[in-house]
Structure 1
Amino acid sequence: MYVLAVNGSPRDGGNTEVLLREVLSSLAECDWQTEIVKVGGTAIRGCTACYKCFENKDNRCIVSNDGFNEIYAKLLQADAMILGSPTYFAAVSADLKALLERAGFVAIANGNAFSGKIGSAVVAVRRGGATHAFDSINHMFQISRMIVPGSTYWNMGIGREKEEVKDDAEGMKNMRHLGKVINWLGRSIKNSPGDYPAG
């Protein structure tokens, strides 16, 4: 099984990346194929509401000069996606928001292409605002007919300086548990008869 983590932070080796890698490490121990890609700091643009994805229905965005389509293709392949962001003014990073807008829209335009996939949000925060950022990611999952697993707490870790989140023992423990839950859910879905119900 394959899981893709998307890092919405522009900072290499920052707290968002640390949290994502902890979840991936837990999944790798369960024999998942893991990959992390970075969207933060890539200047990915937001949705232009041109509706070409609804016309073309080719699982692509017509804007093709910013790396979105490559990441979207990986999201389509993934059994589970973990989207991570730092907390900026109680919201997700602009680059991750752009990905959420476009990926969600292109997926809906192509027969709800994310239906039945597992989606998890992971958020790094200095102090406050993480639950709003967490919700923003989950909103795309829910409207896309995805399955959102829980863990021991909301999937957030506290820290400002690089790798400071490693000192948040509860947050790091939650990430490892999240990996275990994604593994359990992914294997349950794989062994379950029938397709995700159409709406």
Structure 2
Amino acid sequence: WNVVSLVTGKECSVPSSHVAKVWHRWLYEGVSREKAEELLLLPCNHSGSFLIRESQTRQGCYSLSVRRTNLSSWDSVKHYRINRLENGWLYIAPRLTFPSLQELVDYYSEIGDGLCCLLKEPCFIQGAVQVPAQNLALPVVVKKSSLNWQELDSSALFSEAPAPAGESPVSLGLREAISSYLFLTEELPPEKGEKGRLWKCA
């Protein structure tokens, strides 16, 4: 499947085994029981949040997963099997049948009738609301000329005074790295020649 990020607008491919279809905001295809619990227990969902998913054990049947609040413990998810009759009608309790999933959802949204709570709102998935991509400014690239170690004044390496912005050929990070290296190896800075340049050791 080809998918597009709602944030960045970039397109990429996703294996079909990692894709779930969502219908009516509450009907999920390709979602396991464990994944349904994970989604419903997200902080953006509350007691009464629900989803309907294809049954993993009975072909042609569905399961209703509902988040409920437990006053004495953490929120949990209750699952109900939605069975299908030979005539295509659906039911949770045999005494009450519905011609479609939409009729079933509408009924249990108004009357609990044996469920742990009323169906209040479909499971909300973070990122489902489109967020406009921000036009972030690109970082400024500063290109300096190549550093010639033969002509470098040692004072640029060992000076503790901060150099004016853009004037020092050696970055602060490089100076700190060299200072740390010399400190760890317990060696003194190399001696300067007559013109203040670094001497090479044979």
Whose strand proportion is higher, 1 or 2? 2
> Taking structure 2 as the reference length, what is the TM-score of the superposition?
0.24
The structure with higher relative contact order (CA 8 Å, sep 6+) is: 1
Greater C-alpha Rg = 2
Q: Indicate the structure with greater helix content.
A: 1
Compute the TM-score of the two structures, normalised by the length of structure 1: 0.25
